[in-house]
Amino acid sequence: MKFIIQRDYLVQSVQDVMKAVSSRTTVPILTGIKIVAHTEGVTLTGSDSDISIESFIPAEENEKEIVEIHQTGSVVLQAKFFSEIVKKLPKEIVEIEVGNHYSTVIRSGKAEFNLNGQDAEEYPHLPQIEEENIYKMPTDLIKAMIRQTVFAVSTSETRPILTGVNWKLENGELVCIATDSHRLALRKAPIHSHQNGSYNVVIPGKSLSELSKILDDTNEPVEIVFTESQVLFKAKNLLFFSRLLDGNYPDTSRLIPADSKTNLTLNSKDFLQAIDRASLLAKEARNNVVKLSTLTNSMIEISSNSPEIGKVSEEIQAEEVEGEELKISFSAKYVMDALKALEGTEINVNFTGAMRPFVIRTTTDDSMLQLILPVRTY
């Protein structure tokens, strides 16, 4: 294998596949990046078994030569060193050549690296996915759907299925749901497909976070293909594979209350900042619990009390307070996470009593909701 490549394309591509490479793997060759030079260009692959990423650097793009292939072939190089090296190469042009025993020379300007490589045949094959049912969604919409749900997945392995996000596709709609059993995030959006199939899968939260980092902020469509055990996302010059989680995701629809007894309409930023301030003293007490009380004249009070440190209270003018009086305690962190995810300026909060889950929505967009379980403090 021998090729000459534009450094910046190589750096970007290595950075992308590195998102799948883990130093803590039980399969030693997966600490490497697979490099394949073929006549159309160079393909890099990184994988940690759960996530696999393939990045393609075309020989030519927009009539500009990016890679000059002198000899096709392949090698696996230690990801950690290879990625550090390409970032720090002195010149715009890089030559990579594999010699005897996979010993690989990386040349740029007067700098010459020799890295011990491995046989690419030893590298696990990526899953073969038959592209029967292809769904399409704009890149920025996928990123928004991930951002607005993935933070709510469980970080505990007690119920592994809750470490993933539930993706349900039916009737041209995608519904994403994440819950750690203390709070739930839901976002839905239309999705495009030529088929009428339906899917109900659970994608590991970590996979979605990595996917989100690797996707550009464009509205170009991403293709999505599901199989029994894998999901594949196809963007320009990029394949992103993730395994799916085994098991059935709990039915969350009955968790969302249909009616409410107290309804607030208020400015999201005011609410967020008041909770943030109240949580300053609550954080220390570990539970991070703050209290909300309705007052008269559409005022609400956010407060917190940590006897050893002190206490804090703040009044906020709501735009509307409707229904029964209420005193309720909740995790400041969960409500702040939810408000940040909603990204709205004006929000509705619907309560059905101090012991029941409450729902936060923006006043303008009903495609997303955040549900939070209160904390019992009485």
What does each C-alpha distance from 189 to 13, 142, 192, 239, 337 come to in angstroms? 30, 9, 10, 23, 21
Structure tokens at 155: 């970080």
Minimum CB distance to a copy of itself, residue 68 (Å) = 23
Minimum CB distance to a copy of itself, residue 292 (Å) = 14
Nearer to a copy of itself, 59 or 309 (CB): 309
Measure the CA–CA gap between 286 and 284, rounded to whole angstroms.
5
User: Between the CA atoms of 99, 102, 108 and 113, what dihedral angle is there, to the nearest 10 degrees?
Assistant: -110
Question: Closest by alpha carbon to 272, among 319, 186, 340?
Answer: 340
Nearer to a copy of itself, 188 or 277 (CB): 277
Nearer to a copy of itself, 211 or 264 (CB): 264
Q: Quick one: 237 exposed, middle or buried, by C-beta within 10 A (0-12, 13-18, 19+)?
A: middle
Minimum CB distance to a copy of itself, residue 188 (Å) = 34
Tell me the three state secondary structure of residue 269.
Answer: helix
Alpha helices in the chain, H assignment, sequence order: 7-18, 79-87, 139-147, 205-214, 268-282, 332-342
Residue-level length of the chain: 378
Nearer to a copy of itself, 49 or 116 (CB): 116
Nearer to a copy of itself, 270 or 322 (CB): 270
Do 349 and 335 touch, CB atoms closer than 8 A? no
Applying CB under 8 A, which residues contact a copy of itself?
78, 81, 84-85, 88-90, 103-104, 109-116, 273-274, 276-277, 280-281, 284, 308-316
* Residue 358 one-letter amino acid: F
Minimum CB distance to a copy of itself, residue 329 (Å) = 19
Minimum CB distance to a copy of itself, residue 104 (Å) = 8
Nearer to a copy of itself, 108 or 263 (CB): 108
Minimum CB distance to a copy of itself, residue 118 (Å) = 12
Element (H, E) at 323: strand 320-323
Minimum CB distance to a copy of itself, residue 78 (Å) = 7
Structure tokens at 20: 């799948």
Question: Closest by alpha carbon to 373, among 204, 159, 185?
Answer: 185
If you ran DSSP here, which 8-state letter would residue 341 be given?
H
Minimum CB distance to a copy of itself, residue 101 (Å) = 12
Measure the CA–CA gap between 292 and 316, rounded to whole angstroms.
10
